[in-house]
Structure 1
């Protein structure tokens, strides 16, 4: 008999983007029949956000003095276990420090025994579009980590942005890989509570959206493949798969994927006959996308499965 798991939502984002305000907006819309608990992480020794959030009867725990994935890391597991034991909540909301590596927080929550009691539901990252479109921010590993890990990308402080900045934000957000389940603009960091339950699990096979495809009159075909988190790929087999890909396709235009390999996550991208690899913060699933003149999708799927450990 399966045990009902507590849904956990991480709210991430850089300093000053409005994470606490976003969380307060969700709390104000909470179904009174749902039981929530909240963990707030602040980098300073004295927590402020916890005091702001603790005035409506929802249990709030603070972890101060370091980000969840570093100095305060060991506290996270203990705090979560105590809150699950004491409150038996339906949802656990975690507001991460603006300096937290969000992917490392997710990794902590996916380790037993926590993984047996938690379901990683929609993950949110709140951004200031002016920072999002700036190369100075885009090149920072911490910022990339927070963007990469989320399911819902939230543009806050939009009233301070020009139409040109917002257009650039949406253009860049549409190109993110893996794609986001939702990209939204909000006023005053107000989130819609229905976004907590957006579907975050992709189908095993899917067609790419029209906006990422070349001109359809050229006759390209596309396909995407996903594999559940927890299934490791073999690095050497993946290398062979990418090396052999041009032989399995005609007119290869794009091939890229995120794969879980030996417990880490890597981004692989094929461009102009060469492919490169980088670490990535995505944690939802392993996935591969392909655009070419023609290919056998069943064969591609078979070869991907053969690359699993």
Structure 2
């Protein structure tokens, strides 16, 4: 796709967050800090067909706001987002750009799109911000959703809204959450009523190294697949951030596993920092949440797929093929 040239590299901020977290409130406060003489642009995405958030933003001179409706610019076809962004840049020539994806979106996928080579001479990606409603952290049903976790993992900065409404249970949940996400080395900010200074979030984007491939068993059988990068299930990935790495597998929802065999396998693992997973088993859908002090598992609602992540120090060498082979041995394969 042809990208219309712009005279400078534009700082770009992604402001993500789950439904109702306070993204637009925070964005409004940041926009109020625009220097005189600059033009700032906002690209908003709403899942429905009627845009509401655009009407809540400043309409004064010096702001350019564009909406993409009906779907998610993170995970739907890239073309509408590419066209809208290209037009916004060429027509308004902004000095700074803010992108607010829908609360049902996956910001990591959007970030992946915007860091592709053809955008690098136009966009200067800044630290990805995820807004979290701190007054709802006590609600485990809310805070353990896969989408919620995906948004939090993508964040380089976590902005905590509604901190003035936090209970003791919320504070305890926050302490545990910070401990759980310590390997991601995020910056946590209080943002009461969405109040953060632009300088607090205007930090350089720090890329993590993520390699997504077919299952290691397939790579072993067909070495030419080792260089193949895929996103379709099933797949394996390894993501590295500074002193920590995460190895993960996403497997089709239709695959089922022997619960006891799976539990034995996870309990046998050594030298890890965190193990989290959700699987369809012969005893129903089960989630696993292991830390070195406690092994927790429980029955959960039906998931969107089978998945597992293991966080470990980068200093530790791992035989992930052996683990994957053992994991596949736990799978229930119906006789044809």
Could you say which structure has the greater relative contact order, defined with CA pairs below 8 angstroms and 6 or more residues apart? 1
Q: Which residue of 1 aligns with 2:33?
A: 29
Partners of 2:45 and 2:312 lie apart in 1 by: 34
Which of these residues, 166, 170, 175, is aligned with residue 165 of structure 1? 170
Q: Which residue of 1 aligns with 2:56?
A: 52
TM-score, with structure 2 as normaliser: 0.60
Structure 1 51/103 Cα, relative in aligned 2: closer, same or farther at 3 Å? same
What is the Cα deviation at residue 232 of structure 1? Answer: 8.2
Partners of 1:27 and 1:155 lie apart in 2 by: 18
Alignment of 1:9-158 (within 5 A): 9-57=13-61, 58-71=63-76, 73-158=78-163
Partners of 1:261 and 1:182 lie apart in 2 by: 33
Structure 1 159/38 Cα, relative in aligned 2: closer, same or farther at 3 Å? same
Asked if the contact 1:36–1:91 (Cα under 8 Å) also holds between the matched residues in 2, the reply is yes
Asked if the contact 1:42–1:97 (Cα under 8 Å) also holds between the matched residues in 2, the reply is yes
What is the Cα deviation at residue 134 of structure 1? Answer: 3.4
The runs of 5 or more residues in structure 2 that have no matched partner are 1-6, 221-226, 232-236, 239-245, 249-265, 278-310, 318-336
Per mean C-alpha deviation after superposition, the further-off stretch among 17-26 and 174-183 is: 174-183
Which is greater in Rg? Answer: 2
CA displacement, residues 76-132 of structure 1 (integer Å, 9 cap, x when unaligned) = 111111112222323210111111111121122123422332122111111112434
Structure 1 165/30 Cα, relative in aligned 2: closer, same or farther at 3 Å? same
Asked if the contact 2:29–2:195 (Cα under 8 Å) also holds between the matched residues in 1, the reply is yes
Aligned residues: 240
What is the Cα deviation at residue 200 of structure 1? Answer: 4.3
TM-score, with structure 1 as normaliser: 0.65
CA displacement, residues 273-308 of structure 1 (integer Å, 9 cap, x when unaligned) = 377798xxxxxxxx973578xxxxxxx8xxxxxxxx
